[in-house]
Amino acid sequence: QSALTQPPSASGSPGQSVTISCTGTSSDVGTYNSVSWYQQHPGKAPKLMIYDVSKRPSGVPDRFSGSKSGNTASLTVSGLQAEDEADYYCSSYAGSNNLVFGGGTKMTVL
Amino acid sequence: QLQLQESGPGLVKPSETLSLTCTVSGGSISSANYYWSWIRRPAGKGLEWIGTIYYSGSSYYSPSLKGRVTISLDTSKNQFSLRLNSVTATDTAAYYCGGRSFYFMDVWGKGTTVTVSS
């Protein structure tokens, strides 16, 4: 059982916006602004898309954005494109030198 | 450009020790700017943080694996390693090494699959 809860699937048509949630507790997401999001295509390594809740690494399109409210973080993909079809994982610092991941969300572009 | 590459046996017997190495190129493993981590993804499941080590040698482990896992640095070879003792079938996974911050990784190896089976 994963420490952070994500919906198993999400979908949208090209051009639409899709938001994936990541629910933790007051011991992780709710307390620390160290939430990250990763994209993973089949057979590939994860790719960092968002760090520190809402910061984008260089090279990540601004279609990807992150936010947090209370114990829930969110990743929004705007202007959905075919190449956005992938698995998405959130992670959060959980205190005491511990890092936790979500169970992952499979994004389908219809 | 920093690059990471995992290496090690693809098959390990139950109760034995899983040993993997991550070779770092394009940068020094002794840099104070980086933390080095191991993450795994069992088939059909999500990512799981295994542990992280800093250039100073300080290491941090997942509570669920603590007692079975050791991460170490080899500065002479610019590598860091993972040892996981007493493996079972539940340790079968794709194993990745990553680097940057304790809180996130923006450099990843391609991953290596380890199967635990007799």
Tell me, yes or no, if A64 comes closer than 8 A to chain B by beta carbon.
Answer: no
State how far residue B52 is from chain A, nearest Cα, in angstroms: 9
User: Phi and psi at residue A21, in whole multiples of 5°?
Assistant: -100, 160
Rounded to whole angstroms, the Cα distance separating B60 from A95 reads 12
Question: In Å, what is the CA distance from B44 to each residue of A110, B47, B66, B90?
Answer: 22, 10, 23, 12
What percent of chain B has pLDDT above 90? 92
Distance between A4 CA and the closest CA of chain B, angstroms: 11
One-character DSSP codes across B20-48: EEEEEESS-TT-TT-EEEEEEE-TTS--E
For the stretch A22-35, pLDDT in tens is: 999 999 999 999 99
Structure-model confidence comparison of residues B43 and A67, the more confident one = A67
Spell out the alpha helix ranges (H) of B1-118: none
- Give the Å distances, CA to CA, from A48 to A57, B13, B99: 7, 33, 11
> Residues near A38 by Cβ (< 8 Å), separated by ≥ 6?
A46, A47, A48, A49, A88, A89, A90, A91, B47
B-chain residue closest to A28, CA distance: B103
Q: What is the mean pLDDT of residues A64-90?
A: 98
Q: Which residues 77-106 of chain A have a CB within 8 Å of chain B?
A: 89, 91, 93, 97-104
Chain B residues touching residue A52 (CB < 8 angstroms): 103-104
pLDDT attached to residue B32 = 86
Please name the helix (run of DSSP H) or strand (run of DSSP E) that holds residue B109, with its range, or none.
none
pLDDT at A13: 97
Of B47, B52, B60, the CB nearest to A46: B47
Rg (CA), chain B: 13
Q: Is the pLDDT of residue A1 over 50?
A: no
If pLDDT is split at 50, 70 and 90, which confidence band does A2 have? low
From chain A, pick out residues whose CB is under 8 angstroms from the CB of B109.
45
- Count of A–B CB contacts within 8 Å? 64
SS3 B46: coil
- For chain A, give the percent of residues with pLDDT over 70: 98
How confident is the model at residue B44, as a pLDDT? 86
According to the model, what pLDDT value does residue A3 have?
84
Give the Å distances, CA to CA, from B74 to A1, B5, B28, B67.
Answer: 34, 15, 11, 21
Chain B residues closer than 8 Å to A57 by CB: 106
- Check residue A79 and give its pLDDT: 97
For each of chain B's 118 residues, which pLDDT tens digit applies? 999 999 999 999 999 999 999 999 999 999 888 999 999 999 889 999 999 999 999 999 999 998 899 999 999 999 999 999 999 999 999 999 999 999 999 999 999 999 999 9
- CB distance A57–B96 less than 8 Å? no
Q: Tell me chain A's radius of gyration from C-alpha atoms.
A: 13
Contact B103 A99 (CB under 8 A): yes
Using CB atoms, which residue from B48, B101, B106 is nearest to A101? B48
Residues in B closer than 8 angstroms to A29, CB to CB, are none
Amino acid at B59: S
